[in-house]
Structure formats: structure tokens, C-alpha cells
Structure 1
Amino acid sequence: MGLGGCIILIAAGAILTFATDWHMQGVNLDLVGVILMIVGLIGVTTFSSIARRRRVVVPPTAPTVIEQERRRDGYGM
């Protein structure tokens, strides 16, 4: 599941928990919403930790300086 799926789970859980007043016999929609939000948060943290591990840090290299000999007559380089 990608980052977008996790965000959708969090949004759907928040909608079920805070924005609905439906009552179903045998199903607590508030609890289902909280569970969806928790699963979404776990997914976001897992995704971000995996993405952080995949990054490869390449240290910058110093530029190579090549000195050119000057002409003795003073014209150009």
C-alpha cells in the first residue's frame, strides 16, 4: 500500500468517526473509523521509514582543478 492509500484510509476513518451519525445494528462505525485511522497512520510511518532507508547518500566530491601553463609571451592561456 502506498502513501496515497494510507491517506485515503485516514480520511475514510475520520469521516466514519466524526462526520456520520449512522447507526447499524451490530457494527460500531465509530470504532471502525478509529481502526481505519490507526491502520493508516501505521502505514504512513512504515512507508516513510522504508523510503528513508532506500535513499542513498552520495558524498559530494571536490572538483578537480587542472592548472594550465601560461604562455611565456603573455598572449592568451
Structure 2
Amino acid sequence: MEVKIGVQNTPREIVIESSQTADEIESAVAKALEGSSKLFSLTDEHGRRVIVPAERLAYVEIGEQAARKVGFGTL
């Protein structure tokens, strides 16, 4: 699942491919914004963690699950 994270006062967004579901990501964002967690953290498909301070979150865009294509395309 592609996730784009906007950080305040930063010109670029963070884009990761996460194996977490949309509901898990939404729950993590909600916890960070309600104040029960001071950090927003996601793990990408390779096991790397992205941690953003909750007060610096501008937006989180959750994309659709992309189906992986296998094989050769038609010419």
C-alpha cells in the first residue's frame, strides 16, 4: 500500500510502500493526532521504519493496494 506523508515546513513528502492495511495506518494516524502517541510511525515493505513527530504531520495520503504485475507486457 502506498502511503504519502506530508511534513510541515518541508518541501518534499515522504512516500513509502507499506505492508500494513489502510485501517492500521488510519489507526496509527488517529493515535498520533489525538495525543496518545507523540510519534507517528510506519514500517515499509523492507522493514525500515519511518518516524515523524505527531505535531509536524501535515497530511497522510493512503493509496490503494496495488496488484503486482508479473511477466512481460504485450507489445
TM-score by length of 2: 0.33
- Is the helix fraction higher in 1 or 2? 1
Larger % of strand: which? 2
